[in-house]
Structure 1
Amino acid sequence: MQTPPLVDELPSRNLDLLNQVRESILLPLADAFAAELDGIGSGLFELADKAPPALQKDYFDAIQELRRERESLVARFRAHLAKAWQALEAGRPLSVERTLSRGNDLTLVADTELEVRLAVRNLAGAIQQQWRPELMRLDRYLGFIAGGFRLDGDSNPIGPEHLGVAVYAAFSTAGLATRAQLASVRLCEPGMVERVGILYEGLERQLLAIARNVDLPEGRSRRRGIPGQPAAMRESPDWISRFFSQWQGGQRSAPGNPIDVHARGDHELLPAELHRLLQGARTDTGPDASGAGARPLSPRELASALSLLQTAPHGGFDEIDAAVDLRTGLHREVLAHAVKLGVDPGTVRIDPGDADTLDLVAMLFQALLAESQLRPELRPVLGQLLAPVAKVALQDPRLFVRDSHPVRRLLNMLADACDGNPAETAAELALLAQVQGITARVVRDFDEHLGVFLQAEAEFGAYHEQYRRRVEIAERRAAELQRAEERRLDARARAGTALDARLRGRTVPPVLEDFLRRPWLQHFERIALREAAADGPLQASALKLADGLLSASDGPAGRDDAWLEAQRPVLQRIYSEAGLAAAPAGVAAGALLDVLLGLQAADLPPPELPPAPAAPVAIEDAADSPLPEESPEQLGFDIDTAEYFQALPLGTWLDFVDRLGRVQPGKLAWVSPISGRRMFVNRRGSRFCVASPEQLAAMVQLGRLRLHREEDAFYSAMQSVVDFLDMPAVAA
């Protein structure tokens, strides 16, 4: 893996501006939290007044504890934000997801603790939803001045997710009863949303004034496709910018209840434009709705039908997947299970708004399953989450607007664990066993409470993080191995070039030529590996030795007898390095000097040396290489495509297609500073392919290489859904 750049070398990095931003935002954020702490007491007192006598003590104790520990709570809140900001300044933005995963010890979490974590997530989601446009711009500004990073909710140190973790860090170590912690977080939410939003607006105005004349990178945008492939021609914006960046709908859930399945709210679950696209696609290709006189299924009836479907083997996915597509299958199975609940099939239909949400979730799963390289038996393992996720989407639209939503995070981790997993090693089999256990538990236990997903995300996230760390270690080892091989190849090539230039057009004694082409060449290669500079003193000394020996082979006029005798220990050492024992090495060195001094015939045969070590190879098993046998020049390649691969960022995944049509994802993990070749690793971090940009461009010409889905599987699948929905409009 390539070493991260030094922070002072990052593009667009502005330490002075970073310091100004830190001073203008971190302390006010802590003050906002402190102000909310001061107001919690009255809210807790009201809750205590309404609570049964047995529970009142928890609230009264919490009031006293918050007053006594106020400064400690604020300090813990501020400490997490400071830690996240320091990570940004160091050039390694802190991930909320990975931070929480490292802190989990794989033990079960109590239901009450899950309630607190979910309340913290809701607080972060409320801030993100209320101030989404401002946050999208702040992500761009901060990422730019910090060194050209693409920040998001997971990595922005002052974003809602890090604020949520800071709130959790503050309350989790306080001596509060769990219900008091839960109440405290919920009481903080309305005020934090307003106070933090005001700070975001002020910071955005400051940064906008500074960056007015600077070309900032766009926010989250679609990846540039590989030139020459159809996907490269699409110029439409990504689905978040198009539909959700300014959308203010989706407030269906009540503040104290994550999912309310009993009534439809007044707010739309999806943006109007997305509704229009979904309804247009359903009119053309979707399942036929019931007659105009049929009443729509109520939210409770629809949720009950989905819950009954969820109890079927694999969550009913086998029956859904048997239809033409998942949209058709989901509609059919929902209505069929509604009938099992006693609903007259001729008098009901699915509400158009609910049908749009079901369609979107079904198409999302269809794209996610298609874009991930899954073994056949894993398709129903992931597919069985369709019914639970549909229930979540119908009642909690934050699924589509929050990167950190527990359902979305869990889907991303599960897809990543299964994608390209061949189940060949013990670690891969164990990871798949975890996937099967987690998905089965979610399908079995999920009713209408997100705590099941939150628990599953926490447990699987911890296991998946351990697996990812092992993969990262394997990637670093693969990069180190490839770097060593590249240096050996480079040293051998330089030695061969230097020797060929000296031997060209000359006739030298066989014993000398054999010495130069084997022991001396290996000697030069070894010292070239030890010296960083290409013209180091040891390499110069080796070249001087070769030049002196060649000059002596020209006859007495070019021979320096004293110098030759002085080289005897050097020649003996080089023969020893080539594999001869001490005595034979001395004999071989003496024979070579005798020939050069004219004391022995020039046609003396060379000594027998051990077999030379095999030349290093670029990948472990050439038979597994996806590269075509022909050279890029023979196959032909597009210059623009080659330039695309030259600029391909580290971490990009590509799909390699072998001669039999099998697809293997490969991640760009290292770029050789010597040859410019790119090293790709597979999902377990092993070296998979080493190729030049020209070779990769030739593979594109052959249809053997394409872009893999984005690392965020949910985001990538949603983009594919929107592209599919756009196709009829484009065709028209």
Structure 2
Amino acid sequence: MKKVARLESVRKGTPDATPVALPRPLEKVQQRTTELLARLLAGMLDGADDRLFDLAESAAEGERDRYFDAMRELRVKRAGLETGFRQALHNSFRALAVDHSGGVLGNHDIDIDSLALVNEDEVETGVAIDNMARKARGGCDEQLRIFNHRLEYLFEGRHEFGERRNPLEPRQVAECFRLCVDKLDLDIRSALIVLKLFERMVLAEIGLVVSEANQCLIDAGILPEIKAPPIRPVRGPAGRAYAPAAAHGPAGPATEGEAATEQNQMFGLLQELLSTLRPTGGAPHFAASAEAGHSAAAMPPVIPASLQGPGNIAVMHNNVPVVNGVPLAPGTQVAPVDSTDLVHLLNRLQRLESSLEAREQAAVPEEIDVRAELASLLETEHGSDSVHALEQADDDVINLVSMLFDFILDDQGLATEIKALIGRLQIPLLKVAISDKGFFSNDEHPARQLLNLLARAGAQWSPVQGTDDELYLSIEEAVFRILNDYDDDAALFGELLREFGDFFQRQVQHTERVEARIREVEEGRARAEAARAAVAAVLDQRLAGRALPGLAVRLLRQGWQQVLYLTCLREGEAGEAWARDVRVVDAVIWSVLPHREHEELKKLETLSPKLLNSLRQGLERISFDALEMREMLAGLQALHQQLLQGLDTAREVVAPEPAPAEAPAVAVAEAELLPEDHPQVRALRGMRTGQWVEFTEDGQAQRCRLAANLRHGSKLVFINRRGIKVCEHSAMTLAVALQQGSAKLVEDGALFDRALEAVIGDLRKRQGASQR
């Protein structure tokens, strides 16, 4: 598993100090809330099979197995999961009695000697926990803050309780469950599915649990009169305190307030992570800020050279304009650029992007340096006498969107031409994010959904199809409609999402219909090949080396072989009809062997009419030639009569005729084969239809969709987007091709979501590295 350089403390267990008893009122809270949460978890597990099955039914074909795997694992390890969850909650409460503890997410100081590298799965799980906790907290924020205040009262103000100390905080509860999920045998995607299920069925009820906790403390006489939490200074992304702003107008509905809180929390989290891009600067910079009459401690650190912007673009930090981490000298002329002004400037850059010259160069992806473009535009219009200052939040949005598009342009799942088109959406999406900071937390935003859909469609396009292909032209049309028509009305994204979604759905449905027909043909062909092989194996085994009359051999090889074939096709080798028809073969062979014993002759006399009747019925079932059938059966009857009279019959030795082995779909040198139990070979045997794979031959790349997986990976049939069969592989040959680089699996999932996860993971890695 790939490692990343995010750091965390290895010591995550209970504190070294022996915990003392909890205050008696808190003991009751622990018992009541643990009981409630355990009951909610039990309810989740009771309904997990149905929920996961429903999710599997509506999921993409390649994801269904993950839901079924999660369903099995939860069912088998349910008892341990429930016990572990109760114990984790118990430990989280008990940790409160130790002065230096901090619950599951304790506030331990970082010790350089105790740091360890963590893998990418943990980063991804951490992002999921962040999102779960943020959403759950939005619905019970006030109740939690009241509970925190009562905890501080119980502990006589020795601790400040919050998200990292309160055991009933959604983040703490989610971490308790994650500790249990880590012990399950699940891959990262399945683990995230289980965490999502926990969010929907347990964390969604955390408000009820916190209310019960508050009621327990009220019953114990702990601040029973308090109706609202005390107001504290709000802390910004870098830990600075701000006084609460005055409300403007009447408060909106509770749901809108909760949504706004959630969006602000998400953007605040991203801003906090972005602070790692501005490491501490040197003393001269802070001296300059002191000369300017501002506190050096309040100034932002210096931005690294690789991230520094142009000299005529500043960022407002605590009302002080800062260029690349250095406060401007006193007397410098500063022109503020607010969000509205910035959007107007970006509109002009967008129009340049949609010009004819830009369209002609659309085949080459190009990174856009937004700050440099803005600086050039401002200098052209206003000269170089003044410095233009962006708001800190807008500067952070520019950073985030730039990082997102860096990921998109590096994505290996898209062809270069598609990346060039999607890359042109950087400025329009930057405008969306500046106007709506909730863009980063709202996965239902039409602009995000449109980008994901364009990327999913683009992942199915190959350069060999050419830029005059209908799919490419539709993606290009959507991109340039945004560039030409989008100013500030995000409704355009919803309109394009519907239009392009309808077009792409028709394309997908057509491909699926063609795929179904090809799969049916290939499966029929595979069944036919398997039936022929089974019939040949039965006859070869019984006829090999035997001296039998030529008539009997012809009857079995030319006539009864077809009966066996039809039976195997219809009912398979496990059916009673197959066993009955194979017994007829054995009976025919026995009936033409020399018999001398009286008992054998009596048996032949009884068997002969029954055998002839069975042969007639079987041959008539396959519409065998009537004249030839009568000749064969009459000849067999004559042979039986001769044997019953004690006469020898003319015989011939029949050599075995084994069925020809099926050649592999793609020849692979013996030295290149992987072990049969190689993980990639095993995984490819279970590859689901619909998976896209890019094959490269003679420098030409072509994207194909798996239309059929036959006999557990023995034959994988691939078609292109138009439904034309392109190639066949086996799990082994495809695994070899993947190892050699002549094939690669195409990821066609949600591009924006993957980019955002990658950016958050990268920022967390930087944050961990900065703490060393």
TM-score, normalized by the shorter chain, greater than 0.5:
yes
Counterpart in the other structure of 2:738? 700
Counterpart in the other structure of 2:497? 457
Pairwise CA distance, 1:307: 0.7
Counterpart in the other structure of 2:627? 583
8 Å contact kept, 1:326–1:363: no
Counterpart in the other structure of 2:446? 406
Whether 2:587 is the aligned partner of 1:548: answer yes
**Equivalent of residue 448 in structure 1, options 488, 496, 504:** 488
Counterpart in the other structure of 1:368? 408
Whether 2:661 is the aligned partner of 1:630: answer no
**Equivalent of residue 421 in structure 1, options 440, 457, 461:** 461
8 Å contact kept, 2:713–2:731: no
8 Å contact kept, 1:653–1:665: no
What's the TM-score, normalizing by structure 1?
0.55
Counterpart in the other structure of 1:178? none
Counterpart in the other structure of 1:290? 311
Counterpart in the other structure of 2:147? none
Pairwise CA distance, 1:645: 0.8
Deviations 1:549-584 (CA, angstroms, capped at 9, x unpaired) = 222343355783664454446545656677754334
Tell me the distance in 1 between the aligned counterparts of 2:706 and 2:169: 36
Tell me the distance in 2 between the aligned counterparts of 1:683 and 1:504: 48
Alignment CA distance shift 1:531-1:346 (3 Å): same
Tell me the distance in 2 between the aligned counterparts of 1:698 and 1:398: 45
8 Å contact kept, 2:690–2:705: yes
Tell me the distance in 1 between the aligned counterparts of 2:500 and 2:365: 29
Tell me the distance in 2 between the aligned counterparts of 1:594 and 1:588: 10
Pairwise CA distance, 1:409: 0.7
* SS at structure 1 position matched to 2:427: helix
Tell me the distance in 2 between the aligned counterparts of 1:576 and 1:319: 70
Counterpart in the other structure of 2:181? 215
Whether 2:537 is the aligned partner of 1:497: answer yes
Deviations 1:225-259 (CA, angstroms, capped at 9, x unpaired) = xxxxxxxxxxxxxxxx9xxxxx997999x99999x
Instruction: Kindly report which structure 2 residues correspond to 1:246-325, keeping only aligned pairs within 5 A, or say none.
Output: 268=268, 270-277=270-277, 283=304, 285=306, 288-290=309-311, 292=323, 293=328, 297-312=337-352, 314=354, 318=358
Structure 1 letter corresponding to 2:591: A
Structure 2 letter corresponding to 1:544: R
Counterpart in the other structure of 1:709? 747
Tell me the distance in 2 between the aligned counterparts of 1:278 and 1:375: 34
* SS at structure 1 position matched to 2:449: helix
Tell me the distance in 1 between the aligned counterparts of 2:671 and 2:432: 53
8 Å contact kept, 1:278–1:725: no
Pairwise CA distance, 1:543: 0.8
Pairwise CA distance, 1:352: 7.3
Tell me the distance in 2 between the aligned counterparts of 1:516 and 1:470: 45
Alignment CA distance shift 1:544-1:278 (3 Å): farther
* SS at structure 2 position matched to 1:270: helix
* SS at structure 1 position matched to 2:483: helix
Tell me the distance in 1 between the aligned counterparts of 2:739 and 2:424: 38
Whether 2:574 is the aligned partner of 1:535: answer yes
Tell me the distance in 1 between the aligned counterparts of 2:583 and 2:675: 43
Instruction: Kindly report which structure 2 residues correspond to 1:515-664, keeping only aligned pairs within 5 A, or say none.
Output: 515-531=555-571, 534-557=573-596, 560=604, 563-568=607-612, 570-571=614-615, 581-591=625-635, 602=651, 628-630=666-668, 634-637=672-675, 639-642=677-680, 645=683, 650=688, 653=691, 655-664=693-702
Counterpart in the other structure of 1:100? none
Deviations 1:461-505 (CA, angstroms, capped at 9, x unpaired) = 344344444444455555544444443333333323222221233
**Equivalent of residue 385 in structure 1, options 399, 402, 425:** 425
**Equivalent of residue 54 in structure 2, options 91, 94, 99:** 91
Tell me the distance in 2 between the aligned counterparts of 1:478 and 1:549: 40
Instruction: Kindly report which structure 2 residues correspond to 1:15-30, keeping only aligned pairs within 5 A, or say none.
Output: 20=43
Tell me the distance in 2 between the aligned counterparts of 1:649 and 1:204: 37
Tell me the distance in 2 between the aligned counterparts of 1:722 and 1:211: 22
8 Å contact kept, 1:490–1:674: no
8 Å contact kept, 1:144–1:217: no
Instruction: Kindly report which structure 2 residues correspond to 1:167-178, keeping only aligned pairs within 5 A, or say none.
Output: none
Deviations 1:248-307 (CA, angstroms, capped at 9, x unpaired) = 97999x99999x9xxx99975833224534989984545752264585754334322221
More strand by share: 2
Deviations 1:572-604 (CA, angstroms, capped at 9, x unpaired) = 565667775433443355456656766985469
* SS at structure 2 position matched to 1:271: helix
Pairwise CA distance, 1:411: 0.7
8 Å contact kept, 1:632–1:694: no
Alignment CA distance shift 1:316-1:268 (3 Å): farther
Tell me the distance in 2 between the aligned counterparts of 1:346 and 1:553: 110
Structure 1 letter corresponding to 2:435: Q
Structure 2 letter corresponding to 1:401: S
Tell me the distance in 2 between the aligned counterparts of 1:423 and 1:706: 15
Alignment CA distance shift 1:494-1:552 (3 Å): same
- Greater Rg, structure 1 or structure 2? 2
Tell me the distance in 2 between the aligned counterparts of 1:220 and 1:716: 20
Note the aligned Cα RMSD (angstroms): 6.1
Instruction: Kindly report which structure 2 residues correspond to 1:2-401, keeping only aligned pairs within 5 A, or say none.
Output: 20=43, 88=51, 91-92=54-55, 194=139, 215=181, 268=268, 270-277=270-277, 283=304, 285=306, 288-290=309-311, 292=323, 293=328, 297-312=337-352, 314=354, 318=358, 326-339=366-379, 341-342=381-382, 344=384, 347-348=387-388, 354=394, 357-371=397-411, 378-401=418-441
Tell me the distance in 1 between the aligned counterparts of 2:450 and 2:754: 15
Counterpart in the other structure of 1:56? none
Pairwise CA distance, 1:629: 0.9
Tell me the distance in 1 between the aligned counterparts of 2:609 and 2:369: 89
Counterpart in the other structure of 2:315? none
8 Å contact kept, 1:315–1:387: no
Unaligned runs of 5+ in 2: 1-38, 61-68, 78-134, 145-166, 191-198, 200-234, 239-243, 281-301, 313-322, 643-647
Structure 2 letter corresponding to 1:371: D
Alignment CA distance shift 1:270-1:722 (3 Å): closer
* SS at structure 2 position matched to 1:305: helix
* SS at structure 1 position matched to 2:181: coil
Tell me the distance in 2 between the aligned counterparts of 1:304 and 1:328: 17
Alignment CA distance shift 1:377-1:326 (3 Å): closer
Pairwise CA distance, 1:372: 6.0
8 Å contact kept, 1:326–1:362: no
Unaligned runs of 5+ in 1: 1-15, 25-84, 98-139, 149-189, 225-240, 242-246, 606-613
Alignment CA distance shift 1:346-1:681 (3 Å): farther
8 Å contact kept, 2:720–2:726: yes
Tell me the distance in 2 between the aligned counterparts of 1:529 and 1:617: 18
Alignment CA distance shift 1:477-1:580 (3 Å): same
Structure 1 letter corresponding to 2:349: L
Tell me the distance in 2 between the aligned counterparts of 1:320 and 1:218: 53
Tell me the distance in 2 between the aligned counterparts of 1:209 and 1:364: 28
Tell me the distance in 2 between the aligned counterparts of 1:579 and 1:509: 25
8 Å contact kept, 2:363–2:420: no
Alignment CA distance shift 1:212-1:615 (3 Å): same
Pairwise CA distance, 1:722: 6.2
